[in-house]
């Protein structure tokens, strides 16, 4: 459809509405639960599926080319830094995978303003923030003008 919402699991919280890059997860005014208003603009990106705390959203592959009977389910656990997939084939075979997603605590990135203020005379140089150190080579390469 590609995404669809399970009537009994959705609690209408709107997390999927908030995250959808395509603005196609909306709250139905009668049932007060989310649904995909525009399946033909769904990329099957799973942003809403991963964000749903009720696990109420699933994907049924595009009707144009995906025969029925499959499932690709996901559990994203930010606090553990991992994501797990369970794939069920049309013929019933199962495959499972888990991959890491992040090596540092969420929220730990140091903002640009948390670094020492740069000397503004360097505004005219080609060096970006944290260069040349972050290049891990001595100096920024340059090339003679043609």
Active site residues per annotation: 43
Residue 8 or 119 with smaller CB distance to other proteins: 119
Residue 53 or 100 with smaller CB distance to other proteins: 100
Q: For residue 5, what is the enclosing H or E element?
A: strand 3-5
Which residues, at least 6 apart from 107, have a Cβ–Cβ distance to it below 8 Å?
Answer: none
> How many residues bind to other proteins according to rule CB under 8 A?
83
Q: How far is the CB of 10 from other proteins (least distance, A)?
A: 19
Coil/strand/helix, residue 114: helix
Q: How far is the CB of 6 from other proteins (least distance, A)?
A: 18
Convert 82-104 to b/e letters by CB count within 10 Å (16 or more is b).
ebeeeeeeeeeeeeeeeeeeeee
Site string for other proteins, 14-53 (x = CB under 8 A): ----xxxxxxx-x----------xxxxxxxxxxx------
**Residues 110-129 within binding reach of other proteins (CB under 8 A):** 111-113, 115, 117-118, 120, 123-124, 126, 128-129
**Residues 81-100 within binding reach of other proteins (CB under 8 A):** 83, 85, 87-91, 93, 95, 97, 99-100
Nearest partner of 75 among 54, 93, 103, 104, judged by Cα: 54
Q: How far is the CB of 8 from other proteins (least distance, A)?
A: 23
CA 128/CA 25 separation, integer angstroms: 39
């Amino acid at each position: 459809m590609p995404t669809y919402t399970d009537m009994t699991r959705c609690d209408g919280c709107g997390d999927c509405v908030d995250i959808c890059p395509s603005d196609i997860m909306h709250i139905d005014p009668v049932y007060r639960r989310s649904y995909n208003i525009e399946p033909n603009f769904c990329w099957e990106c799973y942003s809403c599926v991963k964000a749903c705390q009720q696990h109420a959203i699933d994907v049924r592959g595009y009707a144009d080319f995906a025969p029925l009977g499959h499932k690709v389910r996901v559990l994203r656990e930010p606090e553990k830094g991992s994501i797990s997939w369970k794939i069920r084939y049309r013929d019933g075979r199962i495959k499972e995978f888990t991959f890491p997603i992040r090596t540092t605590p969420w929220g730990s990135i140091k903002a640009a303003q948390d670094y020492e203020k740069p000397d503004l005379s360097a505004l005219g140089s080609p060096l970006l923030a944290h260069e040349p150190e972050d290049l891990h080579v001595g100096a920024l390469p340059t090339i003679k003008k043609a």
